[in-house]
Structure 1
Amino acid sequence: MCGLLGLLTSDGSAATHVDAVREALPCMRHRGPDGTDTWNDEDVVFGFNRLSIIDLEHSHQPLVWGPEDDPQRYTLTFNGEIYNYIELREELAAAGLPLHTTGDSETIVAGYHLWGEDVVEHLRGMFAFAVWDARKRTMFLARDQFGIKPLFFATTPAGTAFASEKKCLLALAEDMGTDLSIDRRAVEHYVDLQYVPEPESLHTGIRRLESGCSATLTPGGVLVQRRYFRPQFKTTPVAHDSEQQVFDRIANVLEDSVAKHMRADVTVGSFLSGGIDSTAIAALAKRHNPDLLTFTTGFEREGYSEVDVAAESAEAIGVEHHVKIVSPEEYADAVPKIMWYLDDPVADPSLVPLYFVAAEARKHVKVVLSGEGADELFGGYTIYKEPLSLKPFEKMPSPLLKGLRKLSTVLPEGMKGKSLLERGTMPMEDRYYGNARSFNFEQMQRVIPWAKREWDHREVTRPIYAQSQDMDPVARMQHLDLFTWMRGDILVKADKINMANSLELRVPFLDKEVFRVAESLPYDLKVSHGTTKYALRKALEQIVPAHVLHRRKLGFPVPMRHWLAGDELYGWAQDQINASQTEDIFDKKAVLEMLKEHRDGVSDHSRRIWTVLAFMIWHGIFVEDRIQPQIDTPDYPVDI
């Protein structure tokens, strides 16, 4: 929806920082090209860029609000959407609180006055916001349950600054005295996982408020965080004769979620790939907008496009469909710009086609729906089947497990059964680390020789696993993905890449009411009957076309393996590595050797190479100042 920037000073010097805040706002104009404003008192400066979605004529921010006896008490900056704002407005009005707009922003600040920090429990939506209480001289910050909307912060002796995008805090760094050294621990986590895990960022002095957390702050004080959202996947068995009730409950809550997510005073479209998740969302959205537009992307290379399947789905549900085909040349040219928008690198090649399809969508609509979150909530990843295949190992005595483990280490690589023995004799905490790990430790040391084993992925996953001891194995994997892959990759690209095009992306699966239904499913309604997302597929039988009901979702598959080995991107990658000034981080000779091995077919290093390349390009922009992407935010129509 928007971009927020705030600064709470330690010494009451806010007025001296207003110009710096104003100068930092344009670097995230893409998040809000429809308007910009600042507000300050002696302690606080707020800046805001608005993308107008609801209540276009009013609900401008920073928003000053208060009860009748103190109408200037609170000031709000808010990025996101509150989908139950109509119901909340009725509740707040019934409590006697004054409401001066018809939008959703006012419900947050009025709700904070009524419920205090528990206001987050009442909000159904995606959000990152800050409320300043001028009477108590207290700042309250919060992010939504899943981390759909970002919030970076930096604390120095001068105060605490926070923003929707890290580049704003980089712009304020000199004014604030922020430590901009590279966090080498975060670098290792990035290389290990393909993203920088929360709450880290690659800059030592800048961190993120975690998903499902809120925080309070006073002038000169420290940021005090609390977790208000703790997902608990339950394992309550479902009687066979009540399964249909479960399927109906899923269908009904999705119908309601999509209806709420369609609330807007501008045009809402939908992304549409060849999979069940986006198709379900588009089909449900069509019920609320007969003129729904859908969008997809693909590549010319055979086997790396869902364009035909998406077109068939669009025809089946009766929507007008738009397609963007991305060439290798367009792909390479866009990467530096995309890394600038991301703030920290994410080594997911699907970022690039997403950028192009978002740009295409923004020509026609201002908001799009998408299917993110279905796999994490309903058990959609193929790897979730693994606990069933490894079940025989659970009954083996410890000495036998140790013997089989030892045997697995001496079997030659590639031998049938070696991987099964390795994974079956390994605790889940050691074998499952989410969907994105590119390097094992030995491979990592090849390219970053300073890597420390104590900094590997287990440092990130260990505390998350500790929270899921009582869950079944599939639920434990889902729980881990909620706090790693989903918020580190899926939701970062969902927010940053769409907002790069001044396009708001909404994710109806990641709705707290949908989650309440999903978290109660036992594993045999997730991974069952030889498929994943079993209950969701059954629930959607009357909603999605038959040709996608049991089709495996590909998302935006990218032919990176072929491009890096061929004329399309091999030379480009070689040039990027040679030009990069990252000798203190990477063994560039080893990286070039890895690229050559990939070209020669010795090993498929495509994901590892792309992970390093993404970092090098990011480093060239934010550290070396060698790469300067051309950023131009068009003047889009406000009321598209």
Structure 2
Amino acid sequence: MCGLLALVCAPGNPVTDDLVDAVAGASHLMRHRGPDEPGTWSDAQVVLGFNRLSIIDIAHSHQPLRWGPPESPDRYVLVFNGEIYNYLELREQLADEFGAQFATEGDGEAIVAGFHHWGPDVLPKLRGMFAFALWDTATGVLFCARDPFGIKPLFMATGPGGTVLGSEKKCLMDLAGRLGVDTGIDVRAVQHYTVLQYVPEPETLTTGVRRLESGSYAVIRPGEAPAVTRYFTPKFPVLAFRAGAEQARYDEITAVLEDSVAKHMRADVTVGAFLSGGIDSTAIAALAIRHNPKLITFTTGFEREGFSEIDVAVASAEAIGARHITKVVSPTEFVAALPEIVWYLDEPVADPALVPLFFVAREARKHVKVVLSGEGADELFGGYTIYREPLSLKAFDYLPPRLRKRVGKMSRPLPEGMRGKSLLHRGSLTLEERYYGNARSFSDEQLRAVLPDFREDWTHTDVTAALYDASAGWDPVARMQHLDLFTWLRGDILVKADKMTMANSLELRVPFLDSQVFAVASRLPLDQKITRTTTKYALRRALEPVVPAHVLNRPKLGFPVPIRHWLRAGELLDWANHMIDTSQAGDLVDLAAVRRMLDEHRTGEIDHSRRLWTVLIFMLWHAIFIDGSVTPDIQEPVYPVEL
């Protein structure tokens, strides 16, 4: 787990000492991703920068990493962020089949040797999380790739002077400007953010900066734009359960999770686990403690009653025999940390749960260097309550389209909050019309009021249409899962997981997001994911022997955050007022409309908390990265030496 930066100069724009220094300086902006060891490498066309968080083969696997076959031992140079959990098996296979030789005991050489012998076909063989850039000195080509689910980020920008890519966008901006990249605000991406509460891939809020999408690789030749290819597309080839074979399928789920957790425990440092009150993190911790009887688990909560899962997490830790550490976050701490958190984010994400995640990561880093967590289980096994909606709306499927639309019109004059209004409205819509993902909070009418540059043609369908086209014919829950894998998971869940842990130089591993686990989960039929009374049905059955009974059927909460209450009084309300009063983002956000929303929320007329949070986080991002009116206090990372 680290931070990488790569600059490929166009012909006629050779690497200079000044550019090497600029890359080293830019790389220092993400020193939190790898405070153990910085490094740079350059030749006439390329500069590579790196910050290492030492996890595996601490003494030898330095980066940038040189490797090559015996006839050209320094042919390749690698900078690599992530972990390859099956690296031991890959190294053995490469040695047996090709006689590959290795100078370290780490996982990076498995990537380079695999690429040398298999080319891009190495990517499906890698079980892990990764974003890497590999320079081939023989061909003068940079090959870069991201893992199938997008656990690790990779930003890219190309201009007349060349291409720059890196783990964090803030590190690219000065270099992108040198290369002639357009670094202005992408107004369409602002609208997408406001609709979805995150910036969807491959967009960023900067016009000339994009992200290499999950499950994709890019080939970069000096003077040319990156040539991007998708190598992994998640599919759900549902197989019906053979009568009487249900238990065999549950056993298969348990076995593949056990194998994934075992491989995710590979490290030369201490591994802990995040633990909330839900089944996902509890299952991961319960399986992990089999490999480390001294496992430490961590959770967080708030002082306000009803917004903490600490008691459940403590009971779970006690049941599995883990040592448990908790962090309670006060409103004062919450507000004070916001500028620092948004600086680490790079791009705004309007999910309040990232704040407690930041604090629990900071607490965990005092004790461990790696944590396991339960992200991805909901998308793979059908864990979101909204996935049950197709069951509740099934009767509408039998209505002729014209009658279905008339039902929707009937709902419009009904008072807001009236029982049945939402059901009639949502039932009148197709799945493609009603499901944007987990986060939509603004109606089109509300968007028009808040965004001066609102455009009717910049809609969620920019993001969702192609995804729905690709899943035509699947059952509705599989289509929702597919959509969330490309949107909510990689736009919100994995961004906050990566950014908030890396902000604290802590490596987070997600055993559910493993290619072998996905292969099993993707074959589940609808009735093994969702029923009228529960979610993740097959996963719950599979985990009956693993997790404590008090967690098995408990509804998902995660890290609930009381922003609805805090935005009505106290420090968070004061902060919101200050943000509106001082914001210089008035050309992008109607500040008077935001003020009206806050007033209506404060008096209890309407719950605007999610909408307010979305806009306020954008305004804070603007104040930090655009107008510079807010300067977060970012400290040099200092951590225990031995973990």
1:638 shift after superposition: 4.7
User: Do structure 1's residue 482 and structure 2's residue 495 form an aligned pair?
Assistant: no
Q: Which amino acid aligns with 1:78?
A: F
Match of 1:511 in 2: 514
- Between the aligned partners of 1:171 and 1:288, the Cα distance in structure 2 is 45
Match of 1:201 in 2: 204
**TM-score (normalizing by structure 1):** 0.99
Q: Which amino acid aligns with 2:479?
A: R
Is contact 1:151–1:162 with CA below 8 Å preserved after alignment?
yes
Match of 1:404 in 2: 407
Match of 1:392 in 2: 395
Single out whichever of 627-636 and 296-305 deviates more from structure 2.
Answer: 627-636
User: Do structure 1's residue 614 and structure 2's residue 617 form an aligned pair?
Assistant: yes
Q: Which amino acid aligns with 1:412?
A: P
Correspondences of 1:465-476 after superposition (within 5 Å): 465-476=468-479
Correspondences of 1:139-538 after superposition (within 5 Å): 139-528=142-531, 530-538=533-541
Match of 2:28 in 1: 26
Is contact 2:339–2:632 with CA below 8 Å preserved after alignment?
yes
1:628 shift after superposition: 0.7
1:528 shift after superposition: 2.1
Is contact 2:158–2:176 with CA below 8 Å preserved after alignment?
no
Name the SS of the counterpart of 1:241 in structure 2. Answer: coil
Q: Which amino acid aligns with 1:69?
A: E
Correspondences of 1:102-117 after superposition (within 5 Å): 102-117=105-120
- Between the aligned partners of 2:418 and 2:299, the Cα distance in structure 1 is 40
- Between the aligned partners of 1:311 and 1:52, the Cα distance in structure 2 is 30
User: Do structure 1's residue 547 and structure 2's residue 550 form an aligned pair?
Assistant: yes
- Between the aligned partners of 1:39 and 1:637, the Cα distance in structure 2 is 28
Match of 1:3 in 2: 3
1:639 shift after superposition: 4.0
Is contact 2:274–2:298 with CA below 8 Å preserved after alignment?
yes
1:425 shift after superposition: 1.9
Match of 2:50 in 1: 48
- Between the aligned partners of 1:56 and 1:590, the Cα distance in structure 2 is 53
- Between the aligned partners of 2:636 and 2:297, the Cα distance in structure 1 is 23
Is contact 2:9–2:45 with CA below 8 Å preserved after alignment?
yes
Is contact 1:75–1:132 with CA below 8 Å preserved after alignment?
yes
Match of 1:134 in 2: 137
Single out whichever of 132-141 and 489-498 deviates more from structure 2.
Answer: 132-141
Is contact 1:355–1:497 with CA below 8 Å preserved after alignment?
yes
Match of 2:636 in 1: 633
Name the SS of the counterpart of 1:24 in structure 2. Answer: helix
Q: Which amino acid aligns with 1:200?
A: E
1:514 shift after superposition: 0.2
- Between the aligned partners of 2:55 and 2:213, the Cα distance in structure 1 is 26
User: Do structure 1's residue 63 and structure 2's residue 65 form an aligned pair?
Assistant: yes
Q: Which amino acid aligns with 1:10?
A: A
Which residues of structure 2 form unaligned runs of 5+?
none
- Between the aligned partners of 2:632 and 2:570, the Cα distance in structure 1 is 24
Which residues of structure 1 form unaligned runs of 5+?
none
Is contact 2:164–2:176 with CA below 8 Å preserved after alignment?
no
- Between the aligned partners of 2:441 and 2:377, the Cα distance in structure 1 is 23
User: Do structure 1's residue 565 and structure 2's residue 576 form an aligned pair?
Assistant: no
Q: Which amino acid aligns with 2:84?
A: I
**1:269-297 CA-partner distances (Å, limit 9, x unpaired):** 00000000000000000000000000000
1:170 shift after superposition: 1.4
Match of 2:123 in 1: 120
Q: Which amino acid aligns with 1:240?
A: A
Match of 1:15 in 2: 16
- Between the aligned partners of 1:528 and 1:429, the Cα distance in structure 2 is 21
1:126 shift after superposition: 0.1
1:131 shift after superposition: 0.8
Is contact 2:84–2:128 with CA below 8 Å preserved after alignment?
yes
Match of 1:35 in 2: 37
Q: Which amino acid aligns with 2:338?
A: V
Q: Which amino acid aligns with 1:9?
A: C
Single out whichever of 384-393 and 291-300 deviates more from structure 2.
Answer: 384-393
Single out whichever of 270-279 and 438-447 deviates more from structure 2.
Answer: 438-447
- Between the aligned partners of 1:639 and 1:122, the Cα distance in structure 2 is 33
- Between the aligned partners of 2:3 and 2:401, the Cα distance in structure 1 is 54
**1:590-622 CA-partner distances (Å, limit 9, x unpaired):** 111110100001100011111111011111110
1:412 shift after superposition: 3.2
Name the SS of the counterpart of 2:371 in structure 1. Answer: strand
- Between the aligned partners of 1:8 and 1:294, the Cα distance in structure 2 is 42
Is contact 2:391–2:532 with CA below 8 Å preserved after alignment?
no
- Between the aligned partners of 1:386 and 1:224, the Cα distance in structure 2 is 40
Is contact 1:235–1:472 with CA below 8 Å preserved after alignment?
no
Is contact 1:501–1:633 with CA below 8 Å preserved after alignment?
no
- Between the aligned partners of 2:301 and 2:377, the Cα distance in structure 1 is 22
Name the SS of the counterpart of 1:301 in structure 2. Answer: coil
- Between the aligned partners of 2:319 and 2:606, the Cα distance in structure 1 is 42
1:452 shift after superposition: 0.7
1:252 shift after superposition: 0.3
Is contact 1:234–1:522 with CA below 8 Å preserved after alignment?
no
Single out whichever of 435-444 and 273-282 deviates more from structure 2.
Answer: 435-444
Match of 1:80 in 2: 82
Is contact 2:540–2:553 with CA below 8 Å preserved after alignment?
yes
1:635 shift after superposition: 2.6
Q: Which amino acid aligns with 1:236?
A: L
- Between the aligned partners of 1:237 and 1:45, the Cα distance in structure 2 is 52
Name the SS of the counterpart of 1:565 in structure 2. Answer: coil
Give the % identical residues: 64
Give RMSD over aligned pairs.
1.1
**1:564-595 CA-partner distances (Å, limit 9, x unpaired):** 00123111110111111011011111111110
- Between the aligned partners of 1:561 and 1:524, the Cα distance in structure 2 is 35
Q: Which amino acid aligns with 1:31?
A: R
**1:102-124 CA-partner distances (Å, limit 9, x unpaired):** 00000000000010011101100
Q: Which amino acid aligns with 2:431?
A: M
Is contact 2:160–2:181 with CA below 8 Å preserved after alignment?
no
Q: Which amino acid aligns with 2:107?
A: D
Q: Which amino acid aligns with 2:507?
A: E
1:429 shift after superposition: 0.5
- Between the aligned partners of 1:400 and 1:382, the Cα distance in structure 2 is 27
